[in-house]
Structures are given as structure tokens and as C-alpha cells.
Amino acid sequence: MNHAIIAPGELAALEFDREVPMSRSSGPRRTAVRLAALTAVCCQAAVASAAPDYHAINPAMERTTVTLSGHDLTIEQIIQVARYGAKVQYAPGAVQHASDALGLRLEAAAEGIAIYGVNRGAGALREVTTRAGQAEATIPPLVGGGAYPEVGDEDLIRATMLIDANALPLGAATPERMQMSLDLLNARITPVAY
């Protein structure tokens, strides 16, 4: 089997109609080389383009605290936290509610009850039994991380993080995961998002 070896520097220089001699049945390979060249050109363009302008929030409300219960987050509260840096905390009982749900989920899994994402796969693999902790491995990674423009607005990322943190008391989240969400928001630490 013949393989064409193309150095990374040569890849972007390939012309899309240029034939690379490989074998008589080089049609699919030629298409693959063209696709690789197009991908390289797009990646170089993405790397060459500057990161978007970063738009930081105005922490004018950092002395205000919004309490999350999972039930009554308002648009005004989202704006207070996302745009103006208000701090967040959980309502009394919210962490305990999530811990109780987590305990129930783990107890059911230990008894062999099918639980999506715990001892069963995700998506098309939902009928497949997995070992504890293995179900996350059946979820395919998100495709395209870094392939889309980076979000440069801190308030958009903070709003997304806040909505996620508000939903945690309704699920089976660990107390550590819940506290981490609050800590990130309160310290104004935001991930890179696309």
C-alpha cells in the first residue's frame, strides 16, 4: 500500500486540483489530501486571526448576593451576576437536596437498577450496561472545541455558568461540584468558551 507523506509546511501549499501520485485508485486518497489541505488552510487562518476582544464585566454589584434554589432565578438576578459581578450562594437545604438525590442514585446503582449515565451508557448506548464510573466514557467528546470563534464576553460565560449552578440543586450533584460552581463565579474565573 502506498502512502503519501506530506510535511505540515507543504500541506497548506497544496493546490486543491493538484493530483498527488499514490496509486491507480487514488480518487479517495486525492479527495482526502484535498480535504486535509483545506483543513490546514482553515486552521492556519484561525490561528493567524487574533483572539476576539475580551469584554470584561463591570463588577458594580459585587457586594450584592443572589441566592440560588433551582426554582426561582430571575432575569434581573442573571444580569446582576453575569454583568455586574453579584456574588452567589445556595439557599438553605439546596446542597442537602442534591446530596440526597445523589445518595439515592448511587444506592439504586448499587442495587443494579438501570440508571442513565451511571451504570448505562448515554445516547445510543443507553441499553448497554457499564461499570460504575464508566458511563461517562461512552459520551463522545464535543467536536469542534477551538473550531468556532471564542466567546470574548465575560457576561455571556458567567450567565451560562450561573444557569448551570442554579440547576445543580435539582439534580444529583456532589457538594464539591456545587461549591466549585459558586467559587468560580464569585472569583470571576471563567473558562474559554466557543
Residue 72 per-residue DSSP state: -
**Is residue 138 pLDDT above 80, yes or no?**
no
Q: How confident is the model at residue 39 (pLDDT cuts 50, 70, 90)?
A: low
**Is residue 182 pLDDT above 70, yes or no?**
yes
Distance between CA atoms of residues 110 and 167, nearest Å: 25
| Single pTM value for the model | 0.65
Give the model's pLDDT for residue 108: 87
Is residue 69 within 8 A of residue 91, CB to CB? The reply is yes
Amino acid present at 183: D
**Is residue 140 pLDDT above 70, yes or no?**
no
Give the model's pLDDT for residue 77: 98
Q: How far is CA 143 from CA 147, 148, 156, 191, 194, in A?
A: 8, 10, 21, 17, 11
Helix ranges, 55-153 (H): 75-84, 94-110
In tens, the pLDDT along 167-177 reads 999 988 899 99
The domains of the chain, with CATH numbers, are: 8-48 (no CATH), 65-186 (1.10.275.10)
CB atoms within 10 A of CB 83: 19
Minimal CA–CA distance to 182: which of 68, 55, 59? Answer: 68
Can you give the length of the chain in residues?
194
Antiparallel, parallel or unpaired: β 87-90 and 65-68: parallel
CA 86 distance to own-chain centroid: 24
- E runs forming strands in the chain: 65-68, 87-90
Is residue 16 within 8 A of residue 37, CB to CB? The reply is yes
Residue 116's beta-bridge partner residues? 120
In tens, the pLDDT along 43-101 reads 454 444 556 788 999 999 999 999 999 999 999 999 999 999 999 999 999 999 999 99
